[in-house]
């Protein structure tokens, strides 16, 4: 496989780092990846390798305020700015691989973003894959904190606090947890604006799940303590008939980094194959 990196300038002047992994030979589809909060696209090299072996290219960017992209850590000016950044990713996939089907793949916060983006933008896609989507979390049961986050999102939007993420909840693989702790590109900052916007997006997505326009694969670890599997279950129950839900009992938050990651990625590839048959 080949790998290349580049930078975009966003519409409001941020420098966005992006990279792509391309298989040898014919590219069957282009997968556009959106990572989770606090992490970056470089943590998905093994996912790219699995996709490349099956003939799929993977393109990814570091979201503003994350990884190698510029911007205040863990902060966004608006959800609209994120949608415009994802526009760049999908446009680049179309430019690099014209005529090839495109998939949108997001994890955690990225899982919520790809759902929100698809419902808002209605892009031409072969399908959407969302793992551990941030549709429901334990925060929602803490009404005072939720109300405070929404208020401070308007009053003190750029103030950032620790997200409180415990790396031990990411994976049952100690090597994954240690690598996360040692990764200099990982951060735990989240601004009041970002927290408030994510809460708003999750509520809006649930309200509009029945309108989801393309085939959807929802995957969640049954033992996820960061984003609750109930969120994926509820969205799937509200979504149209072309939504597939798979809850992996016993798996933690990063299903693609669990000891069972080979099986999880094989499931994703199998679902993609079915979508490509329909596209073909």
Q: Which residue has the tokens 């793949």?
A: 105
Percent of the chain with pLDDT over 70: 93
Q: Which two tokens stand for residue 86?
A: 């994802």
- Whether 108 is a known active-site residue: answer yes
Q: Which of 10, 187, 224, 232 is catalytic?
A: 224
Instruction: Say what the pLDDT of residue 32 is.
Output: 98
The question of whether 40 is a catalytic residue gets the answer no
Give the pLDDT band (50/70/90) at residue 279. confident
Q: What is the pTM of this model?
A: 0.95
CATH 3.40.50.1820 fits 2-279, yes or no: yes
Whether the pLDDT of residue 134 is over 60: the answer is yes
Q: Return left, alpha or beta for 13; rule: phi > 0 is left, psi -120 to 50 is alpha, else beta.
A: left
Summarize the confidence of residues 67-87 as an average pLDDT.
96
Three-class secondary structure of residue 31 per DSSP: strand
Residue 255 or 279, more confident: 255
Beta bridge partners of 3: 21
Contact 83, 120 (CB under 8 A): yes
Q: Which residue in 69, 108, 133, 232 is the catalytic one?
A: 108
pLDDT of residue 266: 98
> Predicted confidence band at 159 (pLDDT cuts at 50, 70, 90)?
confident
Q: What pLDDT score was predicted for residue 1?
A: 80
Residue 188 near residue 95, CB atoms below 8 Å:
no
Q: Which of 75, 107, 187, 253 is catalytic?
A: 253
Q: What is the mean pLDDT of the chain?
A: 94
Structure tokens at 272: 């993609």
pLDDT tens digit sequence for 161-218? 888 899 999 999 999 999 999 999 999 999 989 988 999 999 999 999 999 999 999 9
The 8-class DSSP code of residue 9 comes to E
Q: Is 107 tagged catalytic?
A: no
DSSP E strand stretches across 62-111:
102-107
Contacts of 214 by beta carbon, 8 Å cutoff, 6+ apart? 118, 125, 126, 127, 128, 242
């Amino acid at each position: 496989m080949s790998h290349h990196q580049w930078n975009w300038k966003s519409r409001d002047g941020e420098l966005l780092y992006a990279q792509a992994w391309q298989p040898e030979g014919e590219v069957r589809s282009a997968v556009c990846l959106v990572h989770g909060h606090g992490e970056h696209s470089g943590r998905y090299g093994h996912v790219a390798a699995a996709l490349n072996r099956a003939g799929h290219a993977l393109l990814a960017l570091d979201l503003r305020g994350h990884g190698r992209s510029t911007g205040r850590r863990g902060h966004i000016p608006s959800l609209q700015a994120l949608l415009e950044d994802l526009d760049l990713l999908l446009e680049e996939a179309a430019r690099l691989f014209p005529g090839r089907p495109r998939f949108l793949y997001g994890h955690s916060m990225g899982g919520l973003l790809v759902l929100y983006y698809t419902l808002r933008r209605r892009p031409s896609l072969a399908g959407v894959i969302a793992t551990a989507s941030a549709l429901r979390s334990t925060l929602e049961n803490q009404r005072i904190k939720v109300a405070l986050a929404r208020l401070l999102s308007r009053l003190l939007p750029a103030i950032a606090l620790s997200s409180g993420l415990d790396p031990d909840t990411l994976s049952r693989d100690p090597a994954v947890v240690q690598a996360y702790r040692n990764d200099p590109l990982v951060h735990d900052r989240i601004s009041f604006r970002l927290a408030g916007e994510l809460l708003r997006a999750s509520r809006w997505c649930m309200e509009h799940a029945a309108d989801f326009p393309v085939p959807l694969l929802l995957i969640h670890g049954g033992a996820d303590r960061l984003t609750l599997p109930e969120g994926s279950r509820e969205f799937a129950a509200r979504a149209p008939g072309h939504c597939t839900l798979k809850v992996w009992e016993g798996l933690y938050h990063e299903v693609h980094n669990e000891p069972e990651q080979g099986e999880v990625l094989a499931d994703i590839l199998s679902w993609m194959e079915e979508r490509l048959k329909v596209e073909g």
